């Protein structure tokens, strides 16, 4: 008799768990590489019955290893039928081309994803010398300092809402940004924030131009007269 009562209680509790905590709303934040709908589908597909409690348990303190560009997703229960998903993306510094594919690397130069098409808002990096690209291994370019420089440039481009076609590093690791046929010689990372702040106002004027904009010697106290454009 006791066993029957226990079984009945378990069935009732399990039914309540499935029905009362069934998710119908998923709020998503922190995502840039995937749409909200894509994140919702990824999150819900991993737990049966779209259950908010099971979702919380599954994602609690769990790293994501099988979704490109995502490091972690936290799930918070807002109500029995609503959860909030906070997406933590990997810090992608840029990508290089290798054997017809686009190879994406993080702040440490580790190749984290390979794709057949370029993804938006991630810069194309040229000038790096390497013989091979292996997934989940560092891009073999010699000094790893270059990846910190790439990430700095990437973050500042995003900060100042500047869309460069590509980033070029020469043999001295000096930086050139490409905007169509216009090249902006940034030089070193000295005064890089000031350079990017000044460049933000100039980029719209480069449309249709072919030549080199010199910003190598731009400093904190520089003005527009110190920036010269050399036509091709």
Neighbouring-strand partners of residue 125: 167
Maximum C-alpha span of the chain: 93
User: What is the DSSP code (8-state) at residue 63?
Assistant: B
Q: Which domains does the chain have, with CATH numbers?
A: 2-89 (3.10.20.310), 92-231 (3.40.50)
Neighbouring-strand partners of residue 182: 179, 211
Joined tokens for residue 231: 């036509």
Predicted TM-score (pTM) of the model is 0.68
* pLDDT recorded at residue 166: 92
What pLDDT tens digit does each residue of the chain (232 aa) get? 555 655 555 566 556 666 677 888 999 999 888 899 999 999 888 887 688 888 888 888 888 877 878 888 999 999 988 999 999 988 788 899 999 999 998 888 889 888 898 887 788 999 988 889 998 888 888 777 788 888 888 889 889 999 899 999 888 888 999 999 999 999 988 889 989 988 998 899 888 889 999 988 887 676 666 778 888 8
Joined tokens for residue 6: 């226990």
Joined tokens for residue 205: 């004027």
Joined tokens for residue 97: 């081309």
């Amino acid at each position: 008799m006791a066993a029957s009562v226990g079984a009945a209680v378990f069935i009732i509790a399990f039914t309540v768990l499935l029905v009362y905590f069934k998710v119908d709303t998923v709020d998503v934040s922190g995502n840039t590489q995937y749409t909200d709908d894509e994140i919702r589908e990824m999150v819900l597909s991993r737990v049966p019955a779209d259950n908010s409690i099971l979702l919380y348990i599954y994602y609690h303190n769990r790293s994501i290893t099988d979704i490109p560009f995502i490091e972690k997703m936290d799930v918070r229960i807002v109500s029995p039928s609503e959860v909030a998903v906070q997406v933590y993306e990997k810090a992608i510094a840029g990508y290089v081309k290798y054997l017809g594919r686009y190879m994406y690397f993080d702040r440490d130069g580790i190749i984290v994803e390979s794709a057949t098409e370029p993804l938006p808002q991630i810069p194309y990096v040229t000038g790096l010398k390497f013989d091979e690209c292996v997934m989940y291994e560092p891009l073999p370019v010699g000094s790893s300092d270059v990846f910190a420089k790439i990430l700095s440039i990437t973050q500042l481009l995003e900060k100042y809402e500047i869309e460069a076609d590509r980033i070029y590093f020469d043999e001295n690791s000096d930086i050139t940004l490409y905007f169509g046929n216009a090249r902006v010689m940034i030089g070193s990372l000295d005064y890089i924030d000031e350079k990017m702040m000044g460049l933000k106002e100039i980029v719209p004027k480069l449309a249709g131009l072919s030549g080199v904009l010199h910003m190598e010697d731009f400093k904190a106290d520089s003005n527009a007269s110190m920036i010269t454009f050399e036509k091709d």
